[in-house]
Structure 1
Amino acid sequence: MSRGTVNRRLPLVWLALHRRRRMLLALLIGMVVFEALIVVITSTVPPTDLFGAGRTPPSAFRAFSGSNGDVSIASYPGLLGAGLTHPFWIALQLTAIGALGAAAVAADAESGTIELLMTRPVSRRRLLAERTAALLAASVLLNAAATVTIAVGVALSPDLRDAVPVGGVFAAGLLGCAFAFCLAGPVLAVSAVSRRRAHVIGATVAFGAVGFALNFVALAWSPAAPLRYLSPFHYYTPGDALAHGTVPWTSLAVLAAVGVAGLAAAFRLLERRDLAS
């Protein structure tokens, strides 16, 4: 199948990606450079030396290594996991989700072009479906870039190869895609009812920041422990995946379920929305 044929069949997907190609390229380069830096630091400096010999990092630090279990940030899987839960990693993911989520519906509603799109004719379901596909494609590309960079780093370092199974790297990457989808679903629901891009961007940042804060507080303060179940970061545990080499299927299912629920709500809300108001 030729590229031209695909473009004709999915014009809104390619248009959304083409319009943001420079932003996506910058995000991909940033992701590769950042994860390469994390790999270099992890393979060069023993993890225990970063926190002082014999010292055990506080349990709250598990939030930074992407672990709910026994994986310490002062370990090879913990440090690599920190590269997949670092605020910079989160910011790159949220930038893609926020930009493409806002473009799904809210941006056209704000600019007044949504009515024109509907008269081409393009159904509401097709509009949202193709722009959702563009958002998910961008998120998969970002997570693939991070996964491949870490996999290459692990393959080139004997110490990392001994501590991190290659299957764990790809398990963490799959979990990253599920995490992005978990946030994308609710963001698209906001876009489906909003007339302002700023509202969608704000919701994206709020979902990410509040979710991380809830998980951190729950790990740091035992009375708040039940709050961890409300955070996507409780289920997004790349440190555990890197250490054990397996996909935490229960966590992945929860993340996917939230994304599906948000996406279903987005379609429902857009169908019922009065586009003229």
Structure 2
Amino acid sequence: MPNVMTKTLWDSRRSLAGFAVGTALVGTMYAGFYSQVSDGAMGEAVEGFSPALREALNMEDIASAAGYLGSSVFGIIVPLIAVIYGIATGTRAIAGDEEAGYLDLLLAHPVSRTRLLLHRCAALAIGAFVLAALVLLAMLAIRSSAQLTTVSVGQFAAQCAALALLSTVFGAVAIAIGAATGSRAAALAGSATVGVLAYAASTFATQIGAGGLRYVSPFHYYIGNEPLRNGFQWADLGILAAAIAVLVLIAGTVFNRRDLTS
């Protein structure tokens, strides 16, 4: 194919559409519950949580729109689906094709390994931003009816931009592991393990006296400085983008050095 990136996006169009629409619908459904929370319907239940748990789950201020969205919609549900999309896409990018026998056929054409990898990474990033854009449009569509107007359009956009980069980070982890091993199972298991550990480090590190660990977690740079309250956190977005660049560089290095005939 003259353009691997567009071919990859075309081949994955149904998967991307399903993830994007599903993420937007689930996020919209949970965001719509805010009016009940703001009226105190869930206040008593949350008060029953320990202070440490409320802090870990970012539920100290669920009465505000930014606090509620940051603890539930953008704190757990939406990033979980976005990370699954990134890992699933990254797992297929190199390792999936190699196990299916398609990689040899593709590389028999005048397509270098580096070009293939970069185009697959670009398709991953574009898909992640499409998913995040649909989530943004869904949030803006219900912003008034769900009483979320205290969160500005710019603040929603800031959080969704971070969401796209978060998804791309874990997709790049899967691509790097797949490029190094050629195993779809290894890419899936490895990136999922990294995701679980990263979430635990961001959420519970402070509670176990290891607060410094949260700074190695992409989730901290995704939501730690509360884009839903403070808007674009350019330093955090830059760190996520730098992490993606490093992962792509690692993936390219190991992919070009590995013997694909063994």
Note whether the superposition's TM-score is higher than 0.5: yes
Tell me how many residue pairs correspond in the alignment: 260
Q: Structure 1 residues 54 and 80 mapped into 2: Cα distance closer, same or farther (>3 Å)?
A: closer
Alignment of 1:201-240 (within 5 A): 201-221=188-208, 223-237=209-223, 240=226
Alignment equivalent of 2:32, drawn from 37, 40, 54: 40
Q: Structure 1 residues 93 and 53 mapped into 2: Cα distance closer, same or farther (>3 Å)?
A: closer
Mean alpha-carbon deviation: is it higher for 267-276 or for 183-192? 183-192
Alignment equivalent of 2:243, drawn from 221, 244, 258: 258
Q: Is the 8 A contact 1:99 1:201 kept in 2?
A: yes
| Matched letter for residue 164 of structure 1 | V
Query: In 1, distance between residues paired with 2:68 and 2:22?
Result: 19
TM-score, length of structure 2 as denominator length: 0.88
SS at match of 2:32: helix
Q: Give the superposed CA RMSD.
A: 2.5
Which residue does 1:28 correspond to in 2? 20
For residues 142-189 of structure 1, give each alpha carbon's deviation from its aligned partner in whole angstroms, at most 9, with x where no partner exists: 1111111112222444x421x212211111111112222322332221
| Matched letter for residue 90 of structure 1 | P
Q: Is the 8 A contact 1:106 1:200 kept in 2?
A: yes
Q: Structure 1 residues 63 and 180 mapped into 2: Cα distance closer, same or farther (>3 Å)?
A: farther
Which residue does 1:80 correspond to in 2? 69
Mean alpha-carbon deviation: is it higher for 201-210 or for 108-117? 108-117
1:16 has 2:8 as partner: yes
Alpha-carbon distance, 1:108 to partner: 2.2
Alignment of 1:1-277 (within 5 A): 9-10=2-3, 12-46=4-38, 48-52=40-44, 55=47, 58-65=51-58, 72-81=61-70, 82-86=72-76, 88-157=77-146, 159-161=147-149, 163-221=150-208, 223-237=209-223, 240-244=226-230, 246-277=231-262
Q: Structure 1 residues 90 and 169 mapped into 2: Cα distance closer, same or farther (>3 Å)?
A: closer
Q: Is the 8 A contact 1:187 1:262 kept in 2?
A: no
Query: In 2, distance between residues paired with 1:268 and 1:240?
Result: 35
Alpha-carbon distance, 1:76 to partner: 1.3
Alpha-carbon distance, 1:272 to partner: 1.2
SS at match of 2:232: coil
Runs of 5+ in structure 2 lacking a partner? none
SS at match of 1:164: coil
Alpha-carbon distance, 1:218 to partner: 1.4
For residues 216-261 of structure 1, give each alpha carbon's deviation from its aligned partner in whole angstroms, at most 9, with x where no partner exists: 221333x1212111211111117711122x2112211211111111
Q: Is the 8 A contact 1:39 1:80 kept in 2?
A: yes
Query: In 2, distance between residues paired with 1:184 and 1:146?
Result: 19
TM-score, length of structure 1 as denominator length: 0.84
Q: Structure 1 residues 103 and 54 mapped into 2: Cα distance closer, same or farther (>3 Å)?
A: closer
| Matched letter for residue 232 of structure 1 | P
Query: In 1, distance between residues paired with 2:80 and 2:197?
Result: 13
Q: Structure 1 residues 258 and 271 mapped into 2: Cα distance closer, same or farther (>3 Å)?
A: same
- % identical equivalent positions: 28
For residues 88-107 of structure 1, give each alpha carbon's deviation from its aligned partner in whole angstroms, at most 9, with x where no partner exists: 42332233212221222112
